[in-house]
Structure 1
Amino acid sequence: MAVAVAACMAMAGCATATATARPVTPAPKASPTPSRTPASSPTPTTSPTQSDGTLQILTYKGYAESGGATTNWVADFESATGCRIARLDTVQTAQDMQDIVGRRAYDVISAGPEVAASLIAAQQVQPIDTARVTGYDELTKQLRDQSEVDGKVYGVPYLWGTHEIIYDASKTKPRDASALYDSQTAALPDSPLSIADAALAGGAEDPYELTAGQLDQAMTLLGKNKNRLYWKDPITLVRAFATGKVDIAQATPYFRMLLQKAGRNVKALDTSAITGWVDSWMLNASTPSLDCAYRWLSWTAMPETQRDAAAWVGLAPATSKACKGRAAAVCAAYGVTKAAKPAKVVFAVRPPGDCAPPEGECTDYVAWTKRWQGLVS
């Protein structure tokens, strides 16, 4: 869920940007000012020994950049390890990733909760020996826990994000989350996971474990105003705020930071809980390049690598040690170093969680997708 970010926001006077289901945008350096060219990666401090081998990688745009001198931190990995990245494919949305993993085998994949569930269920990925991943234990435990199934670890946390309700305080003053669904000038991410936010607003205790009745309630709330803006491209949302088409939206804290930097009186609604997700690196069940794959996992767990990625895509790193320099503003927006902020996040647990059919009573992600498509079509 993210993007190969090549331009800053139109509100800051820059060209348009591409986008993905993950609401990300070009990231700031030391301040929230968007930047086209994040600094190149430093030489890693924990370089594995040289090794022969190649890797085929599938990830979201912006998560592993090798496009040029100013956005190429993949080359450092190849130089340090001797492992060659033979193929680097990027996608924009979780659905794009779901489609492509069924057609081609990749050694490592950065998957969010929507895709991870199906990969694990289909045994397309294998449990990870975390002892072989340098720095794994230094990643935030709450994020590590999201990739554990039946005592086995299936992912190494990389980037994470949250959704909050942001609003133009000069035009509206929402009292609670219901305002997002009542407003005629609102915007939601075009993703089935937005159902969880509606469920949370409707009082669901666990918005990712919804019975059929709870799913119906969430869809009723969403159906109150079907003509709202559903956005995939970050630039669409920013322009909507700039032109006054939208004055309240569900977005990541990074959007709030950008809009405030652009002079907009944008604030976040204070709620008791917010939804979030974690994107983690996973190992193909039958990768022929297991040694290099583990070297890649170790590389992505390094603070330096996560700092580059967080600053580039505007999502939070999985280790607070990355929250320096160019990633400092992003970390501040997400409250990475504040214990209270992650604690209020209800993370997506491979929807719909542990009560999935046939044993449980919860609706599955396929049902969520069908209902969402019916809403936005």
Structure 2
Amino acid sequence: MKKTLISGAVCLLLAACGTSGSNSPASAPGAQGFTPPKLEALKALGQPEGALNVLAWPGYAENGANDPKINWVTPFEQQTGCKVNVKPFGTSDEAVTLMKTGQYDVVSASGDASLRLVASGDVEPVNTVLVPNYNDVYPFLKDKSWNSVNNVAYGIPHGWGANILTWRTDKVSPAPTSWSVMFDANSPYKGKVIAYDSPIYIADAALYLQSHQPDLGIKNPYALDDKQFAAAVALLKQQRPLVSEYWSDYLKESQSLKNGDSVVGTAWQVTVNVTKAEGTPLEATVPSEGVTGWSDTWMVATKSAHKTCAYKWLDYIISPSVNAQVAEYFGEAPANSKACAEMTDKTLCDTYHANDSAYAAKIAYWTTPIPQCLDGRTDVKCKDYGEWTRAWTDIKG
């Protein structure tokens, strides 16, 4: 994808880009504070181009290769004539790098990637009128700071979830109700803590400090000035000796919990489901300090040569039945309000709080940290994603 020349404000954003979110619904609609490249959304669909290159989180675009019963790509190909090539990625940073090659038409971007892609001009606004199933997407997922800018939609919400606290019930007692079990230097589980491997994890430390050191004045864990950022980094360095390993692959985390290398950690609900299903005594909770989380967005590449196929995919992947299949397989809450009725396991939407807007509002969603403080402060500059990345390298040693 061509790297677009952009304004100084957006260049700052790119340097800072990472992840961000706010647990305050007042931060919507859309990201503010920078001007993205001037790009227009597709005005009308044409004839399907016969091909589609998809960049996706593993589990989002299954074609039966891993399990013949898990296949929603083939029906799409049959319906549209768009032959799909899927490239899975393991981290948001990898997705951003791959999108810059110009080889992909659509990407499933989490909040720690989406604004970077917008600012760089690698994705363009989306014409939601051309995506009929968008009408059924939960309102609390639309026009948010990670999927829109200045009231312009840059993608279609797909699925969402929280980064919850999980533990081995046979190894951890009493049941924890606070993240202190992972952050307190005197935690009895030193060397058995497992934490998420990403610069965005700094926000988890900031969220903890928001409750435990209110004098720092943290209002948004993705909007950290020098003092607040230094405190979050110091807390993570204090945590470092407690950590057995950092994970980015939830299956590897599951294995660590199963074999006892780790007994408490940050997890996705799917990790808990998979691990418990295999016989490991595990539970999870939303601690007293709250949680960070993610909401994924399907975005269209600016230089896509297959934009009609891209829009066909966007509408298809969030249709009730397909969104249900993906959510059930991947382990997340679906974006389409009609998807829960299509799920094989009718209990999962309760497990994932899919219909619970109050629960969703409590999550501090990943959003790109930028110099313009996302909490609205104008008298200071906040640390951008580039600085978060450098600090994360230092924290891990």
CA deviation after TM superposition for structure 1 residue 250, in Å = 0.8
Residue 312 of structure 1: aligned partner:
329
Decide whether aligned partners of structure 1 residues 61 and 175 sit closer, same or farther in structure 2, where only a CA change above 3 A counts: closer
Q: Could you tell me which amino acid in structure 2 is paired with residue 250 of structure 1? A: T
1:107 deviates by: 1.5
Given the alignment, which residue of 359, 363, 366 partners 1:348?
Answer: 366
Question: Is there any run of 5+ residues in structure 2 with no aligned partner, and where?
Answer: 1-44, 211-217
Question: Contact 2:111–2:365 at 8 Å: present in 1 too?
Answer: no
**3-state SS of paired residue (2:338):** helix
Q: TM-score, normalised by structure 1?
A: 0.80
How do residues 113-124 of structure 1 correspond to structure 2 at under 5 angstroms? 113-124=111-122
Contact 2:182 2:239 in 1 (8 A): no
CA distance in 1, matches of 2:137, 2:348: 17
> Which residue is equivalent to 2:173?
172
Aligned length: 327
SS in 1 for 2:199: coil
Indicate how the Cα distance of structure 1 residues 187 and 78 shifts in structure 2: closer, same or farther if over 3 A, else same: same
The 5-angstrom pairing of residues 1-377 of structure 1 reads 51-68=48-65, 69-85=68-84, 87-146=85-144, 147-170=147-170, 171-173=172-174, 174-182=176-184, 183=187, 184=190, 185-203=192-210, 204-227=218-241, 228=243, 229-261=245-277, 262-324=279-341, 325-326=343-344, 328-352=346-370, 355=373, 361-377=381-397
Report the CA distance between 1:54 and its aligned residue.
2.0
> What's the secondary structure of 1:188's corresponding residue?
strand
Deviation by residue 1:318-371 (Cα, 9 ceiling, x = unmatched):
123222433534422221123331121121223348527xx8611111111111
* Superposed displacement of residue 300, structure 1: 1.4
Residues 242 and 89 from structure 1, CA distance in 2 versus in 1: closer, same or farther, beyond 3 angstroms? closer
- Please list the CA deviations of residues 111-157 of structure 1 after superposition, one character each: whole Å capped at 9, or x if unmatched: 11222122111111111111111111211122222311011100101
Quote the sequence identity (%).
30
Q: Following the alignment from structure 1 to structure 2, what is the Cα–Cα distance between the partners of residues 353 and 346? A: 18
Measure how far apart 1:58 and its partner are. Answer: 1.2
Q: CA RMSD in A?
A: 2.3
Measure the CA separation in 1 of the matches of 2:370 and 2:165: 23
The CA deviation string for residues 207-235 of structure 1, in whole angstroms up to 9 with x for no partner, is 11111221111111111131302122323
Q: Distance in 2 between matches of 1:354 and 1:306?
A: 35
Aligned pair in 2 of structure 1 residues 151, 237: CA closer, same or farther (>3 Å)?
same
CA separation in 2, counterparts of 1:242 and 1:139?
Answer: 36
CA 1:288–1:244 in 2, change beyond 3 Å: closer, same or farther? closer
Residues 304 and 275 (structure 1), Cα distance of their counterparts in 2 relative to 1, 3 Å cut: same
For residue 29 of structure 2, what is the aligned residue in structure 1? Answer: none
Query: What one-letter code is carried by the residue in structure 2 that aligns with 1:72?
Result: N
Counterpart CA distance in 2 for 1:211 and 1:252 is: 28
Deviation string 1:277-336 (CA, Å, 9 cap, x unpaired) is 111111111323222221111111201111111122112211232224335344222211
In 2, Cα distance between equivalents of 1:240 and 1:247:
8
Q: With structure 2 as the length reference, what TM-score do the two structures score?
A: 0.76
Classify the secondary structure of the residue corresponding to 2:142: helix
